[in-house]
């Protein structure tokens, strides 16, 4: 095995809230022994507070700036095989171009109805959705999804309307199609 850290490109899952990014990281990470991380967790560790608290205390722009800085740090460190990016990350600070230049991006695409089903139970932990009425939430998702799709659709790979095992298998297939070493990346660094 000759791959070095410099050649290693992480995989980054992108997509709207509730599209399954964290689920894939946790489940596929365990299945393949990958080193994975959620960008939101890095942001929270840097800020020393929750994502919701950052939104309330520092505001949206400050959150996006910190999100960008943490993304750059992850891409510089090359520590992780698989990264879950927050739903808005591809749409600010030229992050989509940055991710495509330095990682393999995978868009987990779901329509607004499916997204609604997944986000409703945990709405209180989602600062962009909490406090809204259910019908407002559906409208907000439809509108922001349409605004974000031009960014999401720049992903190198797009997986559409997949759930559970089928979603895990599809991401695994993409990762493995990029080289048999992928499942052993964890042991290279």
Sign of the four-CA dihedral 53, 55, 61, 63: positive
The residues with which 188 forms a beta bridge, in sequence order, are: none
- Residue of 51, 70, 82, 171 that binds ligand S3P (CB under 6 A): 51
Whole-angstrom Cα distance, residue 34 to residue 153? 25
* SS3 of 105-168: EEEEECCHHHHHHHHHHHHHHCCCCCCCCHHHHHHHHHHHHHHHHHHHCCCCEEEECCCHHHHH
Give the shortest CB-12-to-ligand S3P separation in angstroms: 12
Q: Is 127 in the site for ligand S3P (CB under 6 A)?
A: yes
Q: Is 145 in the site for ligand S3P (CB under 6 A)?
A: no
Q: Is 87 in the site for ligand S3P (CB under 6 A)?
A: yes
Give the shortest CB-6-to-ligand S3P separation in angstroms: 28
- Residue of 10, 34, 40, 42 that binds ligand S3P (CB under 6 A): 40
Site residues, ligand S3P (CB under 6 A):
17, 21-22, 40, 51, 86-88, 126-128
């Amino acid at each position: 095995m000759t791959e070095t850290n410099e050649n290693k490109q992480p995989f980054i899952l992108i997509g709207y809230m509730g599209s399954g990014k964290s689920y894939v990281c946790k489940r596929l990470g365990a299945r393949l022994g990958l080193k994975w991380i959620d960008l939101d967790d890095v942001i929270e560790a840097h800020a020393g507070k929750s994502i919701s608290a950052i939104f309330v205390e520092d505001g949206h722009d400050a959150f996006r700036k910190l999100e960008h800085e943490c993304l750059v740090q992850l891409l510089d460190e090359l520590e992780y095989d698989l990264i879950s990016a927050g739903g808005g990350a591809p749409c600010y600070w030229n992050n989509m171009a940055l991710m495509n230049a330095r990682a393999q991006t995978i868009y987990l695409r779901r329509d607004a109805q499916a997204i609604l089903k997944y986000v409703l139970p945990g709405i209180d932990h989602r600062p962009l959705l909490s406090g809204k009425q259910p019908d407002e939430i559906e409208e907000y998702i439809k509108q922001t999804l349409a605004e974000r799709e031009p960014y999401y659709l720049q992903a190198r790979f797009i997986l559409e309307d997949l759930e559970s095992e089928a979603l895990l298998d599809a991401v695994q297939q993409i990762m493995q199609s990029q080289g048999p070493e992928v499942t052993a990346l964890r042991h290279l660094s």
